[in-house]
Amino acid sequence: MVEVEFSHFHDSLSPHGTWVYLEGYGDCWYPSDVEDDWRPYHHGHWVWIDECGWYWVSYYSWGWACEHYGRWVYTNGRWHWVPGYEWSGGWVVWCEGGGYVGWAALPPTIIWDDRDGCRTGGVVWEVEIHEYCWVFVTCNRFGQRNLHRYAENTRQTKALLRRAGVRGCLTAERGRPMNRAIRFEEAEEFSGQKPPRRKFKDERDEKSRPENRDDGELVYVYRPRVKKPKNNGDQEEREKAEKEKAEREKKEREEKEKREKEEAERKAKEEREKAEKEKAEREEKEKKDKEAREKAEKEKAEREKKEREEKEKKEKEEREKAEKEKAEREKKEREEKEKKEKEEREKAEKEKAAREKKEREEKEKKAKEEREKAEKEKAEREKKEREEKEKREKEEAERKAKEEREKAEKEKG
């Protein structure tokens, strides 16, 4: 299997999207060639491979990386890919029921363990998975290509999740990710047809793969082994470099936004001044026209004007009085209504925030305990293995020393 550095992702994906720094995740990437309603594992199809279970055949040139390594997170109004070291046929969680089958990209909070698989204990999928991440198709479409053509609209996600049940995600088999939450026989049963079954043809780089990566018998796959960092020092240096890069990009964005804002304000000011000048000229012309008309009609309309003005004045006073009373009543009612709505809204938001905070703290506490427990068990295993190895080496050394002594005594005798 080909082995690459972690930086290989950055070099390969840069032409197809943008790298950004996200707090809590580090360097992340988002694609530039997707539609507004796109979500991960949307453009492609599923095939069954005996050695890994369900394998996602992506139709994107960057799919070899972003839909087989790492995780996805939805933030700042778009999907961002968080790089990872482990390869799988597709890092997804599965749903099935009510005549539909669905899948969704796993978030960074779902940790992979070579022994236990994906750690999902205590996970509430409705909370963990972003609503617009799910891809649902009817069961009879599951084995077809171009699944994005048959995917249900994201507006239907909530209703479909109520009909379907979560089946699970990836498990570990000899330390490898296995995508078998839905078995091959089950898929054949609920789809009414045999799902596509293929074998792998490994390629040495992503560019050597044919455009049709699934020829009906073989799936052409590029799945290099990604080197993991040897020590924490390398990781710290990389994180420091990533942070400095993010700060530079942030500063450049802010300066660009400032320049664009100043330019927009200057243009808006010029347009306002132009509009005000035209308005003043128009008003001046209208004023002169009006004065000319009034002068010509003044003698004829003087009596009628006086009577009309008196009548209008009286009507106006009565109307203004009525409108004023009405406005005061409406204002008072509106203020009382707004005050009540504000109090209810603040109360609801406060209760919601308290609930979310409590759930988040409980979740973080549980995740931390599970990590510490797993790390402790791992350390104990490694210690036991070292002790057993040292014991075997010591016994072997003693055996060899004994044989040499016996041999020496025999030769001496």
How much is the average pLDDT of 363-390? 93
Calculate the alpha carbon distances from 223 to 69, 77, 331 in Å.
Answer: 9, 30, 68
Q: Is the pLDDT of residue 186 over 80?
A: yes
Q: How confident is the model at residue 231 (pLDDT cuts 50, 70, 90)?
A: low
How much is the average pLDDT of 384-400? 93
User: Of the candidates 103, 170, 105, which has an alpha carbon nearest to the alpha carbon of residue 139?
Assistant: 103
Single-letter code of the amino acid located at 369: E
Q: Is the pLDDT of residue 235 over 80?
A: no
Calculate the alpha carbon distances from 308 to 56, 256, 295 in Å.
Answer: 83, 61, 18
Please give the Cα distance from 119 to 107 (Å, whole number): 12
Please give the Cα distance from 191 to 184 (Å, whole number): 11
Q: What is 192-215 written as a DSSP string?
A: SSPPPEEEEEE-SSGGGS-SSSB-
Tokens of 167: 């089946």
pTM of the predicted model, to two decimals?
0.57
pLDDT attached to residue 240: 60
Please give the Cα distance from 32 to 60 (Å, whole number): 11
Per the rule left: phi > 0, alpha: psi between -120 and 50, beta: everything else, 99 is: left
Give the chain's count of helices (H) and strands (E). 6, 18
Q: Is the pLDDT of residue 113 over 60?
A: yes
C-beta separation of 163 from 97 below 8 A: yes
Least confident of 195-204, 207-216, 340-349: 207-216
pLDDT digits (tens, 9 = 90+) for 330-351: 999 999 999 999 999 999 999 9
C-beta separation of 45 from 148 below 8 A: no
pLDDT attached to residue 248: 63
DSSP E strands, 349-389 = none
Please give the Cα distance from 222 to 58 (Å, whole number): 12
DSSP E strands, 157-287 = 165-168, 171-173, 176-178, 197-202, 218-221, 225-226
Least confident of 40-44, 163-167, 267-271: 267-271
Residue partners of 308: CB distance under 8 A and separation at least 6 = none
Please give the Cα distance from 371 to 119 (Å, whole number): 10
Percent of the chain with pLDDT over 90: 69
At residue 68, the 3 state secondary structure works out as coil
User: Of the candidates 125, 55, 65, which has an alpha carbon nearest to the alpha carbon of residue 90?
Assistant: 55
How much is the average pLDDT of 191-206? 92
pLDDT digits (tens, 9 = 90+) for 243-301: 565 566 556 666 766 887 888 788 888 888 898 899 999 999 999 989 988 898 888 88
User: Of the candidates 120, 146, 127, which has an alpha carbon nearest to the alpha carbon of residue 135?
Assistant: 146
Q: Is the pLDDT of residue 236 over 60?
A: no
196 phi and psi angles, rounded to 5 deg? -65, 130
Spans of all domains in the chain: 3-228, 231-292, 367-413
Percent of the chain with pLDDT over 70: 93
pLDDT digits (tens, 9 = 90+) for 5-33: 999 999 999 999 999 999 989 999 999 98
How much is the average pLDDT of 197-203? 95
Average pLDDT, the chain: 90
C-beta separation of 92 from 106 below 8 A: yes
Q: Is the pLDDT of residue 134 over 70?
A: yes
pLDDT attached to residue 373: 94
pLDDT attached to residue 222: 95
